[in-house]
Amino acid sequence: MSSLFESYDLAGQRLSNRIVMAPMTRARVKDTVPSADMATYYAQRAGAGLIITESAQVSEQGRGYLYTPGIHTPAQIEGWKRVTDAVHQAGGRIVIQLWHVGRVSHSSLLEGRAPVAPVAVPAAQTLVHAYDDDGEPTQVLASAPVALDAEGIRQVIADFRLAAKNAMAAGFDGVEIHAGNGYLFEQFINGDFNTREDLYGGATIANRLRLLLETVDAVSAQIGRSKVGVRISPFARLADLHAFDEEEATWLALAGALSQREIAYLHASHLGTPDFQKDIRAAYFGTLLLSGGFTQVTAQQAIDEGLADLAVFGRPFIANPDLVDRLRHGWPLAEAGREAFYGGGSQGYIDYPAYSSHDTQQAGVAAHL
């Protein structure tokens, strides 16, 4: 059996262990350009076998929230270079999650323009962090979208291809295309929502998968398929997306299509039942990353049972920059304050210390007082 702490060959790149840091939006970028604090934050966590960054919008149109980074301008590329350099100097591997939110956005983030989607139906009761009518940052309802036309679809694919090229220029080890959490690609995949009558929608599974697969092909042609991952969350039910006919068949068809393309990995969460989890594992022959609120025990179990090759940890990495060492040595885990998850400055971001044997000594002294 393989240990969480054993190295792993990911499409020709050697990872130091099988623990992956999940993409977690922290909303600490004031101007969409990665900051010096971001470089520190990711470098502190370079003990992970692989870091997947927070989502980075591939274009201005793809932006859905305040204080998130982009990967479509020269300044953003330079900002990310600081991050990748810091992680690599610390001995880590890092890929960037590429993001287009589709209709999960607000016109105040898009210079007054409407968001885009497969069809012109708003995401009901879906809040985004944007500007109110007085220009103040706050939670607002997502704006009504306009439907992408053929030219708009071609532009989305081109934006992802350019973003992948930019990511390589910024020094990343690869990219992850975000096709989950109710964002643009999942909006196209969802048969309840996507009622288009062209080649990119309707009742046909192949049509609804077309945009994502064409994007995967374009990005693979640009940077090589061994540097491309895809993230899915089939049953997350986020951003006003609902169950639809042939839902399981759709996700299994996607897994099979991605397997045929021999990309670096598939990253999955919200897979529903244990049986469907096994079905995804059977349909996708490549490296499978699995998210799901893992503990060390459950992560090792998933690997032992063959359900995952790499285990993805999210929240524990926030307060434990040295999470891998803490798990390896059985050291206690720190807890992050929820108030520091999103937004703010360095507090609750880069000020969590690594574990020290001094902590144990202090705890022992306190226990005897």
The pairing of strands 127-131 and 137-141 is antiparallel
Q: How far apart are CA 49 and CA 324, in angstroms?
A: 9
104: nearest Cα among 296, 241, 306: 241
The pairing of strands 94-99 and 146-147 is unpaired
Q: Residue type at 22?
A: A
Q: How far apart are CA 188 and CA 210, in angstroms?
A: 9
Alpha-carbon distances, residue 102 vs 98, 120, 159, 208, 218 (angstroms): 13, 11, 13, 15, 19
183: nearest Cα among 76, 68, 72: 68
**Rg of the Cα atoms in the chain:** 20
Q: How far apart are CA 67 and CA 277, in angstroms?
A: 34
Whether 183 is catalytic is yes
Confirm if 144 and 114 have CB atoms less than 8 A apart.
Answer: yes
Catalytic residue chosen out of the listed positions 8, 65, 183, 265: 183
Distance in angstroms between the alpha carbons of the first and the last residue of the chain: 44
Q: How far apart are CA 281 and CA 85, in angstroms?
A: 34
Q: Which residues are catalytic?
A: 183
